[in-house]
Structure formats: structure tokens, C-alpha cells
Amino acid sequence: MRASTFRRLLNLWPPFFFNSIRVVSLDEDYTEARVVLRLRPWNRNYVRTQFGGNLFAMADPFWMLLIIQHLGKDHYVWDKAGTIDFVAPGRADVYAHFKLEPGVLDELRAAAAGGEKVLRWFEVPIKTADGEIVAIVRKQIYVRLKPKSR
């Protein structure tokens, strides 16, 4: 699927659409994605800052989605674990930039080539437009070569 089509579908996905989470860009080669979470009256918490669940949700699927686009149907790619560290109150719109670094996909393929499970952590800071870090989300990705491809 073309990245532009996939981006539009993600923006219509109810967990994103109803929480003011928007995929701003998704590179055609699926190596980078940019996401924004707009601060709205319906997604603020009790103290009128970004709701922590939305901060995590805006970062939740992207490492898996980017990796699976490259490894394809020969590999299982799943989220295994996730953490979020709240650094500062989110009093404005916040942004996340996901970028697969060169060589990461080759490392994952090589590590999973024999059918072993591979667990790798990925991290993304969530920032305001001014660059202030509001939260850091870490996701552990599970990769394994499917039996038919070993």
C-alpha cells in the first residue's frame, strides 16, 4: 500500500481520529513518520495537560508498522512491551518523529535469520514545538522469521 494512502487511513482510525492524533507525514519508503497530538478540551486530563494515555497512543504502533513494512510477510513483527516516562506537563500540542536508522533492518534480519526471536528496544521523545521533551516512549519489538521461511 502506498504510504500516503496508509497515512490517510491511520488518520481515520478511531483511536487517533477521536483523540486529535494525526499522522502528519509518512515517508514513501516507510523509514520515517511524524505524528502530532493536538491539545483539545476533550483530551486534557484533570489538570488541563495532555492525557498520558494519548501520549502513549500517539507513539504506540509506529515502530512496529515501520519495521513490518520492510521485513514483510516472512517475519512476525509484534509489540512486546512498552514504557512511557513523563518528563514535563504537556501544555501544548506535542510531536513525535520516528526514524528507522540505516542498518537497523539488516541487523534485525540477520539476528532472526535462524528462526530465533529477536527483541529490540526503540525510543522516541515526544516534544512540544519549542523542543521541550514532554515524555519518552520506549517500545520493545519482537521479530522472528516465520517457520515456512527458515
- pLDDT attached to residue 105: 96
- pLDDT attached to residue 1: 87
32-37 and 75-86 beta bridge pairing = unpaired
- Name residue 85's beta-bridge partners: 136
- pLDDT attached to residue 55: 97
Q: What is the pLDDT of residues 54-109, one digit of tens each?
A: 999 999 999 999 999 999 999 999 999 999 999 999 999 999 999 999 899 999 99
CATH, domain 3-149, list 3.90.79.10, 3.10.129.10, 2.30.30.90, 1.10.1270.20? 3.10.129.10
Domain boundary assignment for the chain = 3-149
Of residues 84, 86, 73, 69, the one with CA closest to residue 32? 69
Q: What is the pLDDT of residues 26-60, one digit of tens each?
A: 999 999 999 999 999 999 999 999 999 999 999 99
